[in-house]
Amino acid sequence: MNRIFIIGILVFVLAACANDEQFTIEGKVANAGNVRTVSLYEGDRKLDSVFLNEQGEFVLRRAASHPRLLTLQAGNHKYHLILQNGDRLTFRTDLMSEGNTYEISGSPLSEKIQRFAGTIAEKERFEAQLETSFASQAAGLDDAALMDLRQQFMQKYRQHMQAYTEATTRFANEHDDLAGFFAMSTLDKELAESELIAYADRISGRWDDNVQVRQFVEEMARLKRLAIGQPAPDFESLTPDNRQVKLSDFRGKYTLVDFWASWCVPCRQENPNIVAQYHAYKDKGFTVLGVSLDDNPGAWMRAIKDDGLEWTQVSDLQQWGSEVVGLYRIQAIPTSYLLDPQGKIIAKNLRGSELPAFLKKTLD
């Protein structure tokens, strides 16, 4: 009897050890409809997938030697989790429920994320409503009216994202763990630049075994080079008459570095605004350096003449292969950086009414 008892204990201990070498998700999806499977992702990479049984139940088991940021997906519904070996997560959701709600237990970090899920869902609803509203109001507008409408909607978006950034930063300060990191990773890099850079500095060297954290810290280090308050990286290029020009030549003036191209419709639409501000403030210490991503010198020079761009223009005519594209991390144009007389970045991507408002505040 004693021998059997001892063997039973050993089997139990070994089983427990085996379970601690993986995490388990025991889930149920109610009202699944046409959804037949649930999938587990890490970032964009699918790790696993499993069929639902007739009751909508499923079990997933994976190994994770360290806490991993994961997403469980059922149809178009996504649920964010943080799991590690030994976690035994119980998951319940109803695909017909309002607000993509779900219940979980058995994973403390995942439970923290769940508390933040409502904030994310509210942000996503706002973005979807804003997009729908813009599309309905933009129909039939001419270019000028469309630009004005875009500025109005961008202002609404910025205001909402400011509130979201504040809520997210509070959550990360209250949860100094991967749940806080997950929340910060949902912020807009352009609108929450300073918060993200400060957070990356704070967590640098922590959770280095997590690839998403490492990538985030590396990305923020690259972003920091072009952050407001940093010196703008110097470069040199050629004018249409083959004169060599350096960005550092413009020290002593407030300089708008405008990345554009003759083939870029939004750039051409913004040019009249830049022309107006150039004439309004060129005698008050303001100038513009146009940096074109053209590859056709004829089209480039025609656009300069047609749009009345009187300031210095440069291009290496390499389009997206230009060195400045990588140097300034340009992913789309128009892109612009406003520099102070010492060559430091003081603003980015000021368009429409934002540009004259900033110049008025700075130079008047």
Closest CA to 339 of 268, 267, 289: 289
Per-residue pLDDT, averaged over 163-183, amounts to 94
Contacts 24+ apart (CB under 8 A), 51-56: 55/28, 56/28, 56/29, 56/30, 56/31, 56/32
The CATH number of the structural domain formed by 20-106 is 2.60.40.180
What is the pLDDT, as a whole number, of residue 121? 84
Question: Sheet of 254-260: strands edge to edge?
Answer: 312-314, 286-292, 254-260, 335-339, 345-348
| pLDDT above 70 (res 190) | yes
**Residue 70: other Cβ atoms inside 10 A:** 22
CATH topology of domain 236-363: Glutaredoxin (3.40.30)
**Residue 321: other Cβ atoms inside 10 A:** 11
Per-residue pLDDT, averaged over 102-117, amounts to 92
What is the pLDDT, as a whole number, of residue 257? 98
**Residues 88-98 pLDDT 10s:** 999 999 998 87
CATH fold match for the domains 20-106 and 236-363:
no
Could you tell me the pLDDT band of residue 19, with boundaries at 50, 70 and 90? low
Per-residue pLDDT, averaged over 254-273, amounts to 96
- Helices 354-363 and 265-281, interaxial angle, to 10°? 20
Per-residue pLDDT, averaged over 172-196, amounts to 93
**Residue 291 contacts residue 337 (beta carbons within 8 Å):** no
The average confidence (pLDDT) of the chain is 90
Least confident of 5-19, 130-144, 146-160, 340-354: 5-19
Per-residue pLDDT, averaged over 181-201, amounts to 93
Per-residue pLDDT, averaged over 278-304, amounts to 97
What is the pLDDT, as a whole number, of residue 313? 97
| pLDDT above 80 (res 247) | yes
What is the pLDDT, as a whole number, of residue 138? 86
Strands 102-105 and 88-94, how do they pair? antiparallel
Contacts 24+ apart (CB under 8 A), 219-227: 220/196, 222/329, 223/189, 223/193, 223/196, 223/197, 223/329, 224/197, 224/200, 226/328, 226/329, 226/337, 226/345, 227/193, 227/194, 227/197, 227/345
| pLDDT above 90 (res 270) | yes
**Residue ranges of domains in the chain:** 20-106, 117-224, 236-363
Return phi, psi of residue 78, to 5°.
-120, 140
**Residues 294-328 pLDDT 10s:** 999 999 999 999 999 999 999 999 999 999 999 99
Residues comprising the chain, all counted:
364
